[in-house]
Amino acid sequence: MNLHAIKAIYMFEMSRAMRTVMQSIISPVISTSLYFIVFGAAIGSRIQHIEGISYGAFIVPGLIMLQLLTQSISNAAFGIYFPRFTGTIYEVLTAPISPLEITLGYVGAAATKSIALGLIILATAAVFVDLHIAHPLAMLAFLVLTALTFSLLGFIIGIWADGFEKLQVIPLLVITPLTFLGGTFYSINMLPPFWQKVTLFNPVVYLVSGFRWSFYGVADVNIFASLGMTALFLLICLGVIWRIFSTGYRLKT
């Protein structure tokens, strides 16, 4: 494996993040803080506790997951789209580096930025609420697995997109609504029985539920189901990326 090539791509992408700190770090932290202020004041005063957890603390895993999903996709999508846009992707494709190594470089950098952001938001949340992490190793595992999975999805979107506007279509019109409807600000057990069943078709429910379990030991769905759904989505993304490189879709044309 060409570790020097992977490192070169990885360090270039990480340096780009340092040049856009306002967009990459500060903006998501400010928006998360506003969620705490608005939802904590508007809803927290009416819903004191959910499943024995204060409302402010209850929404922390969902808010972290909201930013983690959107930022993972955006970082990876822009990371691979920009070389396509400028034409420098052909230099990467003709270099002695395999598709796996290209993917590791771009996706690894995007996932690293998202994980760092998730930890920063976690620290920010601790300023507003009293946090307790019951299963820290599980929390880190969900954080890393989710960041990797959705960075892979962002990598796919960055290859699929043929314009800057398409880079935001999936995050804004699909991922964000699914996250809001996936138990970010509530427990799905609060819904009527029919809508509880419908909600189970939302894959984000499993991510938020599993991540919340790592904090408080409570979950809307079985923890193994959450891990299984995340792993399944990861494998699907890997399969799609393998297909993209094997056919040269939007890379060689």
Asked whether residue 253 is domain-assigned, the answer is no
Per-residue pLDDT, 22? 67
Contact residues for 177 (Cβ-Cβ < 8 A; gap 6+): none
Asked whether residue 174 is domain-assigned, the answer is yes
Which domain covers residue 197, as residue numbers? 3-247
Asked whether residue 106 is domain-assigned, the answer is yes
Asked whether residue 145 is domain-assigned, the answer is yes
Asked whether residue 141 is domain-assigned, the answer is yes
Asked whether residue 111 is domain-assigned, the answer is yes
Per-residue pLDDT, 45? 62
- Residue in the block written with tokens 């809508």: 195
Per-residue pLDDT, 54? 84
Per-residue pLDDT, 175? 87
Domain count, the chain: 1
What's the CA gap between 50 and 56, in Å, rounded?
Answer: 10
What's the CA gap between 83 and 171, in Å, rounded?
Answer: 20
Contact 59, 184 (CB under 8 A): yes
What's the CA gap between 229 and 208, in Å, rounded?
Answer: 12
Amino acid at 86: T
User: Using the 8-state DSSP alphabet, how is residue 222 labeled?
Assistant: -
Per-residue pLDDT, 32? 79
What's the CA gap between 219 and 142, in Å, rounded?
Answer: 14
What's the CA gap between 241 and 2, in Å, rounded?
Answer: 19
Per-residue pLDDT, 44? 60
Parts of the chain with a pLDDT under 70 = 21-24, 40-46, 253
Per-residue pLDDT, 148? 95
What's the CA gap between 188 and 81, in Å, rounded?
Answer: 36
Asked whether residue 71 is domain-assigned, the answer is yes
Asked whether residue 69 is domain-assigned, the answer is yes
